[in-house]
Amino acid sequence: MRLKILTPTDILLDEAVNKVIAEAKNGSFCLLPRHIDFSAILVPGLLLLEARQGQKIFFAVDEGVLIKRGPEVLVSTRHAVRGEDLNSLRQTVKERFLSLTEREKQVRSTLAKLEADFVRRFYSLGRQHRV
C-alpha cells in the first residue's frame, strides 16, 4: 500500500509500506494492505511504519486525519517529525515542539495586541460619529 504523510506545507513521506500502526481516540490500530477502507481521527502520538524492505520508520504526529482508500493511505496533520529510532525521535520532538510553543506564544501575544488596538480604534471611531 502507498502511504502519504501531508502537512500544510510539505509532503513528508510518499512511499510503499507493508504496515501502518497509528493511534486514534479509541486506541491503536494497524492497517495492512488488504484492510478495508477506513478513516480515523488521530491523536498526538506515534505513527509506526514498516517499509517494504522491513525497516521500521517512526513519526511523531500532531492530531490529524488518516484515510485508507484502496491501496492508498493518506495522513494529514499539522505537524510531524520523522525518526529512525525512538530515542532520536524523542529528542527531535522536544527540540521542535518546544520552539514551536515559544513561537505560538509570540504570535498569540501579537494577535492579542492587534485585536486590542482594533477594538480601541473602532470604539474611538464610534465616539467621533456621536459628537
pLDDT tens sequence across 52-67: 888 899 998 989 999 9
DSSP string across 1-48: -EEEEE-SS-EEEEEEEEEEEEEETTEEEEE-TTPPPEEEEEPSEEEE
Tell me which residue range forms the domain holding 131: 85-131
25 and 47 in a single domain? The answer is yes
38 and 78 in a single domain? The answer is yes
11 and 50 in a single domain? The answer is yes
66 and 104 in a single domain? The answer is no
**Quick check: 110 pLDDT over 90?**
no
Query: From CA 108, how far away is CA 76, in angstroms rounded?
Result: 24
**Quick check: 131 pLDDT over 60?**
no
Higher pLDDT, 97 or 82: 82
Residue 97, pLDDT score: 67
Query: Looking up cell 484492510, which residue turns up?
Result: 35
| Whether pTM exceeds 0.85 | no
Residue 32 · residue 62 · CB < 8 Å: no
The amino acid sitting at 76 is: S
The stretch 102-106 carries a mean pLDDT of 72
pLDDT tens sequence across 24-77: 999 999 999 999 999 999 998 889 999 988 889 999 898 999 999 999 999 999
Residue 108, pLDDT score: 74
